[in-house]
Amino acid sequence: MTDDLSKTTKAEVELLSFRLGGEEYSVDIMSVREIRGWTRATPLPHAPEYVRGVINLRATVLPVVDLSVRLGMPPITGDARNVIIVVQNRTHTAGLLVDAVSDILAVSNEALQAPPEIADDRAACFISALTIVENRMIRVLDLGAVLPGENSEAAA
């Protein structure tokens, strides 16, 4: 899972970090398209619990994932402080509902470490790397694993 990060030739990556249930997570800033305030999502029938629904992003339909539920934590209540991070993973665009955005961090590639193998941790497979910034542990998300796939069988 560290493959796509170790492959990058530049020595430094920029990460957008955000808070989720008191912990700090991040995504590669190159995959972030924009950040939007909280809007109510239209729920989708028969969708997995972590799919909050769809919102109108400038006349396109954007699925929104409640990242907290996806990582096995209680759902985000949804108020003015919450934000939706619009991310793109290859051709797939989706919104990640998080508590709040905190920072943009520049981290050298060497500082990124593969997470230790923890078999029974459901959230572990969504983490592609770990790093320490100013004594805070930052988790780097594997977007491919987090987003509902194009063939979201789970939705049926």
Partner 1 sequence: MSNDPMTEIRASFFIECEELLESLQDALADMENGAKDSETINVVFRAVHSIKGGAGAFGLDALVGFAHRFETVMDELRAGRLDASPEAIKLFFHAADLLQDHVRAARDNQAPPSESEPCLHALEALIDAPTGTEEEVSDFQPMGLGFDLDSFGAEPDATSYLIRFRPLDGLYQSGNEPGYILRALAALGETEITCDSDDLPDLLTLDPERPYLSWTIRLTGTVSEAEVREVFDFVEDLSELEISLDDLPVLDLPEPAPEPPPFMPPPPSEPEAVPAPVTTQSVPAATAEKATAPPTSEAKSPTVRVDLERIDRLVNLVGELVINQAMLAQSVNEAGLAPNSAVMTGLEAFMMLTRDIQDSVMMIRAQPVKPLFQRMARIVREAAASTGKDVRFRTDGETTEVDKTVIERLADPLTHMIRNAVDHGLETPQARLAAGKPAEGSITLSAQHRSGRVIIEIRDDGAGIDRDRVRAIATSKGLIPPEAQLSDSEIDNLLFLPGFSTATEVSNLSGRGVGMDVVRSAIIALGGRIAISSERGKGSCFSISLPLTLAVLDGMVISVANETLVIPLSSILETATLTPDDIRMLHPGTHVVHMRGDFIRLLDLGAELGYRAPKQSYVGDIVLFTSKEDGTRSALVVDAIIEQRQVVIKGLERSYGHIPGIAAATILGDGQIALILDPADLASQSSTRHKRNDLSLAG
Q: Which residues bind partner 1 (CB under 8 A)?
A: 40-47, 51, 53-56, 59-63, 92-94, 148-152, 155-156
Q: What is the DSSP letter of 42?
A: B
Tokens encoding 36: 């939007």
Helix (H, G, I), strand (E, B) or coil at 115: coil
Residue closer to partner 1, measured from CB, 21 or 48 = 48
Structure tokens at 53: 């629904």
Q: How far is the CB of 130 from partner 1 (least distance, A)?
A: 30
Q: State which H helix or E strand residue 132 sits in.
A: strand 127-133
Distance separating alpha carbons of residues 53 and 41, to the nearest angstrom:
5
Considering beta carbons, is residue 88 or 109 the nearer one to partner 1? Answer: 88
Angle at 32 between CA 145 and CA 133, to 5 degrees: 80
Those residues with Cβ within 8 angstroms of residue 3's Cβ, 6 or more apart along the chain or in another chain: none
**Strand 12-20 with 100-108, pairing:** antiparallel
Query: Quick one: 135 or 151, whose CB is closer to partner 1?
Result: 151
Cβ of residue 38: shortest distance to partner 1, in angstroms? 14
- Min CB(105)–partner 1 separation in Å: 29
Instruction: Give 57 or 133: the residue with its C-beta nearer to partner 1.
Output: 57
Structure tokens at 87: 């991310």
* Closest approach of partner 1 to the CB of residue 99, in Å: 23
CB 44 → partner 1: shortest distance, Å?
6
Nearer to partner 1, 132 or 154 (CB): 154
